[in-house]
């Protein structure tokens, strides 16, 4: 796709706002129109573990933040005035009484379909799917998933999963069809629903799961981050525990696209983010998944990798980033892109830095530092 066509639908230059969810609260970074100067404000919810925060693109003013503290149970805070004031949800995500399951934290938030104002989806740890129909005030479990007879087989027990707990994440809504959904789980894999969440089918064929005994299993995979392109909703990308994959529906089989990454870097990572208009352009941020899985930038030399051809080839993008001795990680929700004509790409690190590129990853600049461990960065 030609560059001019890629940018045809681009918005006029405007300030970018980033919501930065951390282990100790929520901060906001706002740029000037040129995205050269940034102002940090916050914190909101100081001392809360904030796993995710988003603004509703449908009304431009509702914001949700998923939070808990070390002592207190999980909740969702909501604002209807762009974050100026917040109120706690009346009924946060919680499993059914008698189910024996308890939500440790709400991990992922996704606004619903454009035709369903007020609908939000939430993924929890351990793996649970929840839905709100009133803008995040009250939440109910999605029985089609939470009570599915195969759920335990798909996910394992509530103690299985990542060191911070097993997670349901990457809740994707097909912009053409509010009933067409995807979810992903660490662990469990990626699943599809064609009926608004009543029924679910595994969608993992082709994704390597070499930590499982059987080849090409139906489920049990470990997707770290799955993205659907809004301009081509049949195109999904997946950064997995085992590599980078892509699927073009109605295909039922993922194709590995990380094989051309440099061998010294590998194709394992947590986050990925997509160009907002070009379905062939995406960024990943590899980490060291060798030996005992250090999960830091390979060799202490952080770099983003960009593909402009759907994953056929990758280019290293490290200009401006530390050249050595930088041992941080970028988590699965901590990389995002804005919608400027020349797309800005941003990521937050486990050491509390935000790095930004105003030229689609060609060069990077540290735009905030000294923050707590960063869980999520969203351009809103």
Partner 1 sequence: MIVRIPTVLRSYTGGRETVEIAAPTTLGAAVDALDARFPGFRFRIIDEQHAVRPHIKLFVDGALARDLATSIAAAHELMIVGALSGG
Q: Which residues, in sequence order, are CB contacts of 79 under 8 Å at separation 6+? A: 61, 62, 63, 64, 85, 86, 87
**Angstrom distances, CA of residue 354 to CA of 52, 71, 264, 361, 380:** 16, 28, 25, 14, 15
* Contact between 157 and partner 1 per CB under 8 A: no
Closer residue to partner 1, CB minimum distance, 89 or 265:
89
Q: How far is the CB of 48 from partner 1 (least distance, A)?
A: 10
Candidates 72-80, 166-174, 302-310, 332-340; binding stretch for partner 1 (CB under 8 A): 72-80
C-alpha–C-alpha distance, residues 327 and 301, integer Å: 8
Q: In what order do the strands lie in the sheet with 243-248?
A: 223-229, 232-240, 243-248, 255-256
* Residue ranges in 95-124 that form contacts with partner 1 under rule CB under 8 A: 95-103
Minimum gap (Å) between residue 95 Cβ and partner 1: 5
CA–CA distance, 268 with 191 (Å, rounded to integer): 21
Contact 200, 148 (CB under 8 A): yes
The only residue of 16, 62, 75, 127 in contact with partner 1, by rule CB under 8 A: 75
What are the C-alpha distances in Å from 345 to residues 39, 304, 322, 323, 335? 17, 10, 17, 19, 7
Q: Which of 72, 153, 198, 259 binds partner 1 (CB under 8 A)?
A: 72
Q: How far is the CB of 152 from partner 1 (least distance, A)?
A: 17
Q: Which stretch binds partner 1 (CB under 8 A): 93-101, 163-171, 197-205, 336-344?
A: 93-101
Q: Which span sits near partner 1 by CB under 8 A: 89-97, 299-307, 318-326, 363-371?
A: 89-97
**Quick one: 102 or 201, whose CB is closer to partner 1?**
102
d(CA 85, CA 177): 33
CB of 130 to partner 1, least distance (A): 12
CB count within 10 Å of CB 5 equals 10
Q: Which is nearer to partner 1, 136 or 233 (CB)?
A: 136
Number of residues that bind partner 1 (CB under 8 A): 20
Q: Among residues 20, 94, 209, 274, which is the contact residue for partner 1, using CB under 8 A?
A: 94
Q: Which CB atom, from 102 or from 309, has the smaller least distance to partner 1? A: 102
The CA–CA distances, whole Å, from 284 to 53, 301, 335, 347 equal 21, 15, 8, 10
Closer CB to partner 1, 81 or 88, in the complex: 88
CA distance 257 to 275: 17
List binders of partner 1 among 216-235 (CB under 8 A). Answer: none
**Residue selected from 30, 41, 69, 313 as contacting partner 1 according to rule CB under 8 A:** 69
For residues 92 and 233, which CB has a smaller minimum distance to partner 1 in the complex? 92
Residues 93 and 73 sit within 8 Å (Cβ to Cβ): no
Sign of CA pseudo-dihedral 246, 173, 191, 338: positive
The smaller minimum CB distance to partner 1, of residues 92 and 269, is found at 92
Residues that bind partner 1 (CB under 8 A): 69-73, 75, 88-90, 92, 94-103
């Amino acid at each position: 796709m030609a560059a001019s066509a890629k940018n045809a639908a681009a918005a006029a230059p405007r300030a970018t706002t980033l919501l930065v969810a951390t282990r100790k609260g929520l901060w906001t970074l706002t740029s000037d129109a040129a995205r050269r100067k940034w102002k940090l404000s916050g914190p909101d919810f100081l001392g809360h573990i904030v796993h995710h925060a988003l603004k509703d693109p449908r009304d431009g003013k509702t914001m949700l933040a998923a939070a808990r503290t070390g002592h207190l149970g999980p909740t969702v805070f909501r604002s209807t005035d762009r974050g100026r004031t917040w109120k706690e949800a009346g009924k946060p995500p919680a499993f059914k009484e008698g189910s024996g399951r308890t939500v440790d934290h709400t991990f992922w938030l996704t606004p619903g379909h454009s035709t369903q104002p007020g609908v939000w989806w939430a993924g929890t740890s351990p793996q649970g799917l929840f839905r709100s129909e009133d803008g995040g005030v009250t939440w109910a479990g999605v029985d089609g998933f939470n009570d599915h007879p195969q759920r335990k087989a798909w996910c394992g027990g509530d103690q299985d999963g990542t060191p911070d707990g097993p997670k349901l994440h990457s809740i994707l809504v097909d912009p053409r069809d509010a009933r067409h959904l995807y979810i992903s789980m660490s662990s469990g894999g990626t699943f599809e629903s064609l009926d608004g969440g009543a029924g679910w089918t595994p969608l993992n064929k082709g994704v390597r799961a070499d930590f499982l005994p059987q080849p090409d299993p139906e489920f049990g995979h470990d997707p770290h981050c799955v993205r659907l392109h809004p301009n081509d909703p049949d195109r999904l990308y997946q950064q997995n525990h085992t590599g980078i994959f892509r699927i073009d529906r109605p295909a039922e089989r993922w194709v590995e696209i990380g094989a051309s990454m440099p061998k010294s870097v590998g194709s394992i990572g947590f986050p990925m983010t997509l160009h907002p208009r070009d379905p062939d352009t995406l960024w990943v941020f590899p980490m060291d998944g060798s030996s005992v899985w250090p999960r830091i930038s390979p060799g202490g030399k952080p770099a983003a990798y960009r593909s402009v051809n759907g994953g056929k080839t990758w280019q290293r993008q490290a200009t401006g980033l530390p050249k050595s001795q930088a041992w941080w990680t970028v988590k699965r929700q901590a990389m995002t892109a804005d919608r400027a004509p020349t797309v800005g790409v941003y990521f937050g690190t486990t050491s509390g830095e935000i790095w930004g590129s105003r030229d689609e990853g060609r060069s990077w600049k540290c735009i905030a530092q000294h923050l707590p461990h960063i869980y999520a960065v969203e351009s809103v």
